[in-house]
Amino acid sequence: MHSMDNQKIVGEVSGEVRRALEHEGSGHDWWHVYRVWKMAERIGKEESADLFVIELAALLHDIADWKFHDGDDTVGPKMAREVLTKYGVPTTVIAHACDIIANASFKGAGVQTDMKTLEGKIVQDADRLDAIGAIGIARTFAFNGYMHWPMHDPRVIPVMHQSKEEYFKSTGTAITHFYEKLLLLKDRMNTKTAKKLAEDRHHFMEEYLDRFFKEWEGKS
C-alpha cells in the first residue's frame, strides 16, 4: 500500500472515532484520543517506529474502554478489528494494532502490562502521558464526577491492586486514584522521549497534591 492510501485510511478512521466519542463526558472522549494520537505520532517519529500501526492503534485504543463495558477488555480489540477490516487494512497490521489495543491500558499497581513491540510501547506511553500532569488531573476529576465517586475522603486508603479484576472493580476517590495509578506511571514509561516528558508532569502532580492537602486542612 502506498503512503497516500495509508493516510486516507487514517483520515477515515479518525473521522469515525471522532463521531463515536465526540460528546463523551468521562475524560475518555475524542480529544483524549486526539492527544494520544498526536503524542504517539511524535514519539513514533523520534523512535523511528511504524507510524501507520501507531496511528491506527492510538486512534482506536479507547473505542470501547473496559471501564464502560463491565470490565470486559475484549470489546475494544473486537470493535477495532471491525473498523480496520472495513477499510481494507492488511491483516498483519490489524493483528498488531489489536494486540496493542488489548494490552495498552493500566490494569492495577501489581499487574504487568508489558508491550511486545516498539509500536505498542509508544502507544502505551502516549496514553499514559495523557493520564498525568495538568490534563491527567483534570481527567481524573472528570471521570470521578462521571462515576459519582467522591473527590476525597481522608478515611479511604489507596489500594495497590494485584489483579486486573480487583482493579476493574475498585471504587475509590479521585485522590486515591493518584496513588493507585497516576503517580506510578512515571516509572512505567517505555521510551526515552516519554520518560523525559513524564518527569515534568509527575512533578506537577506532586505539587498539586501537596497544595490540595494543605487547602483541605485550611493551611493554605
Amino acid 73: pLDDT = 64
Residue among 35, 34, 26, 30 at smallest CA distance from 197: 35
Pull the grid cell for residue 89. 487494512
Amino acid 186: pLDDT = 97
Tell me which H or E stretch contains 14: helix 3-21
Helix and strand numbers, DSSP H then E, in the chain: 10, 0
Q: Domain-by-domain residue ranges, the chain? A: 3-216
CATH code for the domain defined by 3-216: 1.10.3210.50
Residue among 95, 89, 79, 86 at smallest CA distance from 5: 89
pTM of the model: 0.89
DSSP 8-state symbol, 88: T
Amino acid 176: pLDDT = 94
Q: How far is Cα 166 from Cα 113, in angstroms, rounded to an integer? A: 15
- One-letter amino acid of 28: H
Amino acid 91: pLDDT = 95
CB-count burial class (<10 Å; 0-12, 13-18, 19+) for 218: exposed
From first to last of its 220 residues, the chain has per-residue pLDDT tens of 445 599 999 999 999 999 988 877 766 789 999 999 999 999 999 999 999 999 999 999 988 754 554 556 678 889 999 999 999 999 999 999 999 998 887 767 677 767 899 999 999 999 999 999 999 999 999 989 988 999 999 999 898 888 877 777 777 899 999 999 999 999 999 999 999 999 999 999 999 999 999 999 999 8
| Cell 497490521 belongs to residue | 93
